[in-house]
Amino acid sequence: MLAGPAAAGWTPRDLNQLVTDWLGVGRRIIPDTPARPIGLLGAMLAWHGTDNLADRPAAADMAREAAELAARRERCAAVPAEHAAELAAREQGRAALSGTGHAWAAREFARLANQSARRRTQLAAAQAAYDEQAVRSARGLRDAHPL
């Protein structure tokens, strides 16, 4: 009975998948101790079709797993090249930190920060003078502050 599936290249996994497929169609059950186990297996093979033995039940799962394994191997093979590229990019970034462009940007940032601080100081001094003058005018004082 199993000579046909064996000649078609079936594996134990195909037989297990055949049982799963057979149980999944309709409301079939398999008793714990079937009266004629070989007859049950024959019924499952007949359900699958004796002329359809080239269509192995587990072939799709096995092909999917083989594709996943091949993709994983490709990813693993690409890791050293990706790592080398990352190290090169990191080194290039470190070199840029000590380059002339980075030094110029740091100097320009410091100049702009100082300029902004001076402008804020001048605005604060002008506002303080204006407030002082407004207070003195409100109090009726005309002369300058003694300090």
- pTM of whole model > 0.85? no
Average pLDDT, integer, range 25-51? 87
Domain assignment present for residue 120? The answer is: yes
Q: What pLDDT does 92 receive?
A: 92
Same structural domain, 6 and 58 = yes
The number of folded domains in the chain is 2
Domain assignment present for residue 7? The answer is: yes
> In the listed set 43, 62, 81, which residue is the last one of a domain according to the structure?
62
When the pLDDT of each residue in the chain is averaged and rounded to a whole number, the result is: 90
Same structural domain, 56 and 103 = no
> In the listed set 44, 62, 80, which residue is the last one of a domain according to the structure?
62
Domain assignment present for residue 13? The answer is: yes
Q: Which domain holds residue 34?
A: 2-62
Query: Over the range 29-43, which residues count as b (16 or more CB within 10 Å of their CB) and which as e?
Result: eeeeeeeeeeeebee
Domain assignment present for residue 135? The answer is: yes
Q: Answer for the pair 45, 5: CB distance below 8 angstroms, yes or no.
A: yes
Q: What pLDDT does 124 receive?
A: 97
